[in-house]
Amino acid sequence: VSTQSTWGLEMLVSTREENELKAFMDSKWAYLCYGAKWYDPVMYHIHAYTNSQNKKVDGWVKVRLFKGHLDVVALSSPNSLFDHTLATFNHSTKFNQNASAGFIELYTLAQRTAYNVYNFEKQLGQN
């Protein structure tokens, strides 16, 4: 119960990149721990990262237990990155929806450049 609840709060208070890094760190920690490498210097670094990351994991979690399954049904944190005023398709004063077009242009710039440099569709047709 504790692990699932903590994971839910971690997701709520962390960025996508932090959550991806945390998953990698958890996997690396398990690999080193079960490989009897507890005193490897990397373990120190993983613990330092985890301690730093967990400083903002605070809040409450409501869970539902039913027939051996656990579901997180609600959670809240004072450090939540979720902002209700931004998570809407309605006009909001916090987010200028006209900025979306520019964001899409910038976000896809590397993909479009790569496509123009190396025509993948043409190369796939030659295989």
pLDDT value of position 109: 84
| Residue 123 scores a pLDDT above 70 | no
Q: pLDDT over 90 for what percent of the chain?
A: 26
Tell which wins on pLDDT, 45 or 98.
45
pTM of structure: 0.65
Unique residue bearing structure tokens 């809407």: 88
Beta bridge partners of 74: 62
Query: What are the tens digits of pLDDT across the range 64-106?
Result: 988 988 888 888 888 888 877 766 666 656 767 777 788 888 8
pLDDT value of position 105: 86
The pLDDT of 18-42, averaged and rounded, is 94
DSSP state of 64: E
Cβ 59 vs Cβ 80: under 8 Å? yes
| Residue 126 scores a pLDDT above 70 | no
Tell which wins on pLDDT, 44 or 112.
44
Nearest to 46 by CA among 65, 67, 27, 68: 27
Max avg pLDDT among 27-36, 74-83, 105-114 = 27-36
Of the CA atoms within 13 Å of residue 37, those in its CB half-sphere come to 12
Gyration radius of the chain's alpha carbons: 21
pLDDT value of position 30: 96
| Residue 44 scores a pLDDT above 90 | yes
In the chain, the amino acid numbered 63 is V
Beta bridge partners of 63: 72
